[in-house]
Structure 1
Amino acid sequence: MDTDPSSSGNWRFAQCFGDKGEVEDITEADIISTVEFDSTGNYLATGDKGGRVVLFERNESKKGCEYKFYTEFQSHEPEFDYLKSLEIEEKINKIKWCKRMNQAHFLLSTNDKTIKLWKVFEKSLRVVSESNLHDGQRALPPPSAQQHLRLPRMAHQDNIIAAVPRKVYSNAHAYHIHSISVNSDQETYISADDLRINLWNLNISDQSFNIVDIKPANMEELTEVITATEFHPTQCNLFMYSSSKSNIKLADMRDSALCDRHAKLFEEEEDPSNRTFFSEIISSISDVKFSHDGRYILSRDYLSLKIWDINMDTRPVKTIPIHDHLRGKLCDLYENDCIFDKFECVWGGDDKHVLTGSYHNYFRIYDADTLNDVVLQADKSAFKAKKIGGPLPGNKPGAKNGRPGGGLRDAMQMETLDFNKKILHASWHPRENTIAIAATNNLFLYSAA
C-alpha cells in the first residue's frame, strides 16, 4: 500500500481557474458544487452554489491538456415554494452532458427541485450595416427620390456563444434531487431524490415515470434513503442506486415498471462486534459509479472506497481505506457535521485508476489492481511546484531511513487538518490522465505523463 507513490504516474499541476484568495474571503455563491467532463473530454462544466454553469473548452493551441474559458450562464435562480413555505436555493447539484449529435452542446443541470436541458451553441451576431437612414458609418438624410431607396443590408459583426433552456422538467420530486444520469440510449434519463427515482424522456418535460419508490406508508417507519443513482454505461435497461444502509441495488427495467424488486443486491455483512453509535452514518454510501466497461462498480462511504464486481454481490473485490486516521475523531466530526459530508468517487478513463477526495484539500488516486496510491493537494503548493518546474510534493520517490517517502500521506494524518477545506467533487478526462478537482471556489486541473 505504501509503495513509491510516483509509480502511479507522475502527476503535475496544470491549471487553476478561480479567485485564489483566502478561504475566509470566499463568497458562498462562488463555491463549486459539481464538475463534469463531456464524453469527448474537449469540454468541461462546473456548477456553483450561485446557480451558475461555467463551461471550459480545450485550448488546442497549447501542448498538453489545457483549457480556456468558453462561456458562463445563469442556470437556476432562487425560488420559493408557496405551498410548503420553503426556499429553494439555486445551487447546482449535478451537471450531466448529453452526447454531442451536431454543432450544439446539450447538458442537464439540476438544483433541488428543477432539472433543465440547456442548448449551448455558437450564434452569428448580425447587425444592419446599411439602410436608407444609415450607411454603417454615419446618418444619412432621408432619400428624396425613388432611385435613392436601397434595401437594408445585414453584416456579420461577431460570433457569440448562446445558452438556451430547451426543456424544464419540474414538479416531479417531493424531496431534494441529488442525482441525475443520462441513459446510453441518449433518449432518457433518471433523476433521484431521497425516496424516489423518476425516469424521463429528454423530449417530454411534463411527465415522468416513477420507477423506484421506497417511501413507507408511515414516514415514522422510514429507515433508509436513496443516496446516489446511475445508469449502466452500455445496457440501457440497467441502473443502480445506493442507500444509506450501505447497500447497492442493481435494477432491470425489463423486469417490471416499478423497479422496487432489485435484480442484485451488493452488500457486505457488518461484524456486529464492531458496531458503534456512528456505524450507520459512516457506512452510508455517498456515491456510486460504473466503470466505463460496465463490469465493476465503485462506491464511496465516509471511511473507504469499495470496488465491486457486477457478477459477485457477496463482497467487494477491493476495499480501500481512505479515512482510517479519522476513526478516533468521529465524535468531533459528528459535532461539526463533517461526518455527513458526501465525497464523490471517480473511475479513470482506462478503468485502471480510481480517485476520491479528503479533507485539507487532499485527494488520492489509486491503482485499482495494486492499490498503490498518490496523495495530492489542491492548494497553493501546486502553483509553487509549477514555478519551480518539479513534480508535486507528495509525489516524490525515494526512501528515508530505508522506508518509502510518505510526503503528503503523512501530512494527512496530522492533527492540523482543516475540515473546512474538502475535495468533494472531481471528474476524470474520458481518454487521458487529466483530472478536474473542485476545491472550494477554485477548479484545479492535473495531468500525468
Structure 2
Amino acid sequence: MTSMDTDPSGSGNWRFAQCFGDKGEVEDITEADIISTVEFDSTGNYLATGDKGGRVVLFERNESKKGCEYKFYTEFQSHEPEFDYLKSLEIEEKINKIKWCRRMNAAHFLLSTNDKTIKLWKVFEKSLRVVSESNLHDGQRPLPPPTAKSNLRLPRMTHQDNIIAAVPRKVYSNAHAYHIHSISVNSDQETYISADDLRINLWNLNISDQSFNIVDIKPANMEELTEVITATEFHPTQCNLFMYSSSKSNIKLADMRDSALCDRHAKLFEEEEDPSNRTFFSEIISSISDVKFSHDGRYILSRDYLSLKIWDINMDTRPVKTIPIHDHLRGKLCDLYENDCIFDKFECIWGGDDKHVLTGSYHNYFRIYDVDTLNDVVLQADKSAFKAKKIGGPLPGNKPGAKNGMRAGGLRDAMQMETLDFNKKILHASWHPRENTIAIAATNNLFLYSAA
C-alpha cells in the first residue's frame, strides 16, 4: 500500500469496489437481513456472511475480473429459531460468528454459531444426475413394458447439472449455559474453543457430544459476579496458547500445557486506570469488545468503546500503542447510555500484512490506521459510495488537494459532527489475508473496498 501521507485525496488509495444487498433505505430493512458477522477464509478466495435471520451467504472470488471482485456462491439456512422450554427462553437464529476451517480437499468446512448451538457445515459441489434411459423410456420417447427377460435393460444415469450443497456434518450443542459470543479454530485444525460470558469450552472438531471446560470464571454466588468474558482467540501458530478478554479491561493469555483448567493465566495484559479520570461510565467504556492476534502472533489488538490498543505479547505492563477512536463521543456518553449504544461491541481487525489495523464507528464510518505512523484513513460504507461510482465521481468527502485526509468538509471532520446517526454502525469487518481488500458489514449491506 502506498504511504497514506502522499495520497492527496486522504483515502489512502482505498476505493469502493462492490456492494451486495438491498440498496433501499435503512427504515425499510427487515431485522432478519442485518449482517451479524463477516469472515474471509484463509485463502481470501471465499467470503462468508451470517445474518440475524440465521442465514449464511458465501461469496466466491470472480476470477474473470482483473481486480479483487466477488460473486454470489451459495446461501443456506444455518440456524432456526428455537425455544428452551425449561427456561422459557426464546433462542434467536442470529449467527453470532462464522469461522472457516483450513481447506483440506475440494469441500469447504466452516463453523457457525448462534447463542446456543455451533454447527460444522460442509459446502461442496455436487453433480446432479437423472435417469436418462430405463425399461419404460429410451431417453426420447416412452417404451412399451418389456415382454421378455432379454429385453430388460439397466437404467442409465446422465449428468444434468452441478449444484452447491451445504450439509451440517456436526452439531455441537448443550455445552453453554450462557450465550456463545466467540469461537476460534486452533492452528492444529483439530480443535476449537467456544466462549460465553463465564466459560470457555474446548472441542474436538470430530466429536460433537463432548467438550472440555478450560476456563470457568463463574463465582459460587452469582451476586459476587464482577466480570464477564467478552472475546477469545487461539494463537495463530502455537496450538497450546489462547487469550480471552474481559469486561474488566484486561486480556489473559492462557497456556493449555499448564493444567487442564486454565484458571491461572500465563500473562495478564492490563493498563492501570488513573483514579482521577474515573466516572460513572468508566467500567462500561473500558470493557474490551474484541481481541485479535496479529498474523505472526507477536502482537495483540484490542478494542474498547473509545480506543484501540496494540500490545506486545512480551510486554504486559502497558500497550505499545493506544489509538483514540471515539474521542469526539466523550461528551455524549450520557446520551449513548440512554440509547444503549454505549454497549455496542465494535470488532477490530489486523491487515493481512500486520502493518495496518481497522475498526468501525457510527454513521457507517470506519478507520484504517498505519501501525507505525498512526496515520489514518477515514472511510464511510455508505450508499452514496456506489452512486458516486456509477456516475464516476469521487467518494464523498474525498476532496483532492489536501494532505493526510485533513481536508475541509472531509470525512474526518464530518465524523465529529453532531448529526451522527447512531443506528448506522460498522461493528463487523474482515480483511483479505493476502491483499488490501476489506469486507465491511453495514446493516444489511456488504461493502468491499480495495487499495492499490
Query: TM-score over 0.5 for the alignment?
Result: yes
SS of the residue corresponding to residue 386 of structure 1 reads helix
Deviation at 1:390, TM superposition (A): 4.9
Q: Which residue of 2 aligns with 1:250?
A: 253
Q: Is this contact kept in 2: 1:281–1:339, CA < 8 A? A: yes
Listed one character per residue, the Cα deviations across residues 373-413 of structure 1 (whole Å, up to 9, x for unaligned) are 11111111211331243553344442399965561010011
Q: Is this contact kept in 1: 2:175–2:211, CA < 8 A? A: yes
Listed one character per residue, the Cα deviations across residues 25-52 of structure 1 (whole Å, up to 9, x for unaligned) are 1110000000000000000000000000
In structure 2, relative to structure 1, the CA distance for the partners of 1:6 and 1:295 (3 Å cut) is: farther
Q: Distance in 2 between matches of 1:113 and 1:362?
A: 31
In structure 2, relative to structure 1, the CA distance for the partners of 1:406 and 1:4 (3 Å cut) is: farther
Listed one character per residue, the Cα deviations across residues 327-351 of structure 1 (whole Å, up to 9, x for unaligned) are 0100000000000000000000000
Listed one character per residue, the Cα deviations across residues 363-382 of structure 1 (whole Å, up to 9, x for unaligned) are 11111111111111111121
Which of 175, 188, 193 matches 2:191?
Answer: 188
Listed one character per residue, the Cα deviations across residues 154-189 of structure 1 (whole Å, up to 9, x for unaligned) are 000000111010000000000000000000000000
Which of 64, 74, 79 matches 2:77?
Answer: 74
Q: Is this contact kept in 1: 2:250–2:268, CA < 8 A? A: yes
Q: Is this contact kept in 1: 2:245–2:288, CA < 8 A? A: yes
Aligned residues: 449
Listed one character per residue, the Cα deviations across residues 136-171 of structure 1 (whole Å, up to 9, x for unaligned) are 233222123333321100000000111010000000
In structure 2, relative to structure 1, the CA distance for the partners of 1:256 and 1:242 (3 Å cut) is: same
Q: Distance in 2 between matches of 1:38 and 1:252?
A: 26
Q: Is this contact kept in 2: 1:143–1:149, CA < 8 A? A: yes
Listed one character per residue, the Cα deviations across residues 178-231 of structure 1 (whole Å, up to 9, x for unaligned) are 000000000000000000000000001011000000000000000000000000
Q: Distance in 1 between matches of 2:251 and 2:405?
A: 42
SS of the residue corresponding to residue 237 of structure 2 reads coil
RMSD: 1.8
Q: Is this contact kept in 2: 1:34–1:46, CA < 8 A? A: yes
Q: Is this contact kept in 2: 1:345–1:354, CA < 8 A? A: yes
In structure 2, relative to structure 1, the CA distance for the partners of 1:162 and 1:402 (3 Å cut) is: closer
In structure 2, relative to structure 1, the CA distance for the partners of 1:303 and 1:19 (3 Å cut) is: same
Q: Which residue of 2 aligns with 1:30?
A: 33
SS of the residue corresponding to residue 382 of structure 1 reads helix
Q: Is this contact kept in 2: 1:289–1:298, CA < 8 A? A: yes
SS of the residue corresponding to residue 129 of structure 1 reads strand
Listed one character per residue, the Cα deviations across residues 270-328 of structure 1 (whole Å, up to 9, x for unaligned) are 00000000000000000000000000000000000011111111111111111001001
In structure 2, relative to structure 1, the CA distance for the partners of 1:3 and 1:301 (3 Å cut) is: farther
Q: Is this contact kept in 1: 2:405–2:412, CA < 8 A? A: no
Q: Is this contact kept in 2: 1:117–1:167, CA < 8 A? A: yes
Q: Distance in 1 between matches of 2:299 and 2:408?
A: 31
In structure 2, relative to structure 1, the CA distance for the partners of 1:240 and 1:155 (3 Å cut) is: same
In structure 2, relative to structure 1, the CA distance for the partners of 1:148 and 1:31 (3 Å cut) is: same
Alignment of 1:360-379 (within 5 A): 360-379=363-382
More deviation, 344-353/136-145 = 136-145
Q: Distance in 2 between matches of 1:204 and 1:147?
A: 51
Q: Is this contact kept in 1: 2:7–2:404, CA < 8 A? A: no
Q: Is this contact kept in 1: 2:7–2:13, CA < 8 A? A: no
Listed one character per residue, the Cα deviations across residues 400-427 of structure 1 (whole Å, up to 9, x for unaligned) are 9996556101001111111001000000
Unaligned runs of at least 5 residues, structure 2: none
Which of 301, 311, 318 matches 2:321?
Answer: 318
In structure 2, relative to structure 1, the CA distance for the partners of 1:5 and 1:224 (3 Å cut) is: farther
SS of the residue corresponding to residue 404 of structure 1 reads coil
More deviation, 381-390/405-414 = 381-390
Q: Which residue of 1 aligns with 2:92?
A: 89
SS of the residue corresponding to residue 7 of structure 1 reads coil
SS of the residue corresponding to residue 5 of structure 1 reads coil
Q: Which residue of 2 aligns with 1:15?
A: 18
Q: Is this contact kept in 1: 2:39–2:47, CA < 8 A? A: yes
In structure 2, relative to structure 1, the CA distance for the partners of 1:5 and 1:310 (3 Å cut) is: farther
Q: Is this contact kept in 2: 1:109–1:115, CA < 8 A? A: yes
**Percent identity over the alignment?**
97
Q: Distance in 2 between matches of 1:326 and 1:314?
A: 27
Q: Is this contact kept in 2: 1:11–1:395, CA < 8 A? A: no
More deviation, 319-328/391-400 = 391-400
Q: Distance in 1 between matches of 2:248 and 2:395?
A: 38
Q: Distance in 1 between matches of 2:105 and 2:281?
A: 50
In structure 2, relative to structure 1, the CA distance for the partners of 1:5 and 1:98 (3 Å cut) is: farther
Q: Distance in 1 between matches of 2:201 and 2:404?
A: 57
For the pair 1:339 / 2:306, whether they are aligned, the reply is: no
More deviation, 392-401/407-416 = 392-401
